[in-house]
Structure 1
Amino acid sequence: MATTAAKKQEAKLAKNLAHKTHFTKQEIETLMINFKKMTMSKLERTMFREILHNTFEMTDDILMDRIFRTFDADNDGIIDFGEWVTGLSIILRGTQDEKIDFCFKVYDLTGDRIITREEMFHMLKNTMVRQLAEEDPDEGIKDLVDLTLKKMDYDRDGRLSADDFKRSVQEEPLLLEAFGPCLPDDKVREAFLATFTQTKMDTSDSLGLSTL
């Protein structure tokens, strides 16, 4: 049972996060209930990957690892509740600019604010190799990298900067996930958001409150 002081601290955290994210205070309180069911205080990498796979239907190992690192804002190897809510806010309800920045960070494998030809090849090979029927799928992936650079590399320096990526997505939104799926699709997103309503109903029922 949480103490009065702990409850006040949680309420303050929910209020602060409501100002910084696209969730209401009530929704954040619901997320807090669900977060406690998954883990007492923080998400380890393995559990986080299980959530991405089971809840958000993501399967790419490289991208799941990069999503973990992008959620983990303080780079301490674990995701606390604030990081969890902030990350979910972006992937579920983020603005276009927020999603562009998020996806770029996921694709920037070395964290140097540049996506190189090698990084593109590495990500596309991981996601595309099963779909290519050629004897040497690497050649098909190299061609895809060349086509992608031709379309997205505005300053023609052979790599993608954050500005190149942003300009490309603003002109063609489908390029947002050019190097692999790192955002939940609409069906998965709506299913997750629906859990807010269900948790509210369950909580009300347990308190003997009407949900009408």
Structure 2
Amino acid sequence: MNRKKLQKLTDTLTKNCKHFNKFEVQCLINLFYNLVGDVTERQGVVTGLDRNAFRNILHMTFGMTDDMIMDRVFRGFDKDNDGCVNVSEWISGLSVFLRGTLEEKMKYYEQAVREETLLLEAFGPCLPDPKSEMEFEAQVFKDPNEFNDI
């Protein structure tokens, strides 16, 4: 992605995101395209993160292991229900997932509970623990000088 397109995308997504600043949005966009690039190389042309790639991220990055919870998190991110998490869904989903208020997080997972009432009985860890959040953010939100040519 050329610098001009990246800048326009960053500006657009930053306006719609209340929990990340412009630099953080740019870092998350770069991470997204690195992840999608990995998927593309393995599977052909992909417009976003499919369910398996997304679940792998939840498992490897945030230590999630419950298949049902990971599927519900994927559905929460995939707002247009096209089976893929695009860059806009990635940023808005992570905004709530990592930094959302309690009310935002409750609303986010209310949808999952409405779709699967058994979640109330077997509600496992579906949000990242503080250590995983901090490690993820420390890894992704690095010094802006590292983005010399994107």
- What is the TM-score of this pair, normalised by structure 2? 0.82
Please give the alpha-carbon distance, in whole angstroms, between the structure 2 residues aligned to 1:30 and 1:79: 17
Q: 1:38 and 1:199 mapped to 2: Cα distance?
A: 20
Question: Match for residue 147 of structure 1?
Answer: none
- Structure 1 residue aligned with 2:75: 69
Cα 1:76–1:197, aligned 2, differ >3 Å: closer, same or farther? closer
Q: Does 1:36 align with 2:39?
A: no
Structure 2 CA distance, aligned partners of 1:197 and 1:120? 33
TM-score by length of 1: 0.60
Show the 5 A alignment for 1:1-212: 2-3=1-2, 7-21=3-17, 22-40=19-37, 41-110=47-116, 115=117, 119-120=118-119, 124=122, 179-198=123-142, 200=144, 202-203=146-147
Gaps of 5+ in 1: 125-178, 208-212
Could you list the per-position Cα deviations for residues 165-205 of structure 1 after superposition, in whole angstroms to 9, with x for gaps in the alignment?
xxxxxxxxxxxxxx12111010000111112343635435x
**RMSD (Å), alpha carbons:** 2.2
Separation in structure 1 between the aligned mates of residue 143 and residue 30 of structure 2, nearest angstrom: 8
Change (3 A) 1:201 1:191: farther
Gaps spanning 5+ residues in structure 2: where? 38-46
Structure with bigger gyration radius: 1
Cα distance change, pair 120–90 in 1 and its aligned pair in 2 (3 A): closer
Indicate the SS of the match to 1:198.
Answer: coil
Moved over 4 A (4+): none
The sequence identity of aligned pairs, in percent, is: 39
Bigger shift: residues 71-80 or 39-48: 39-48
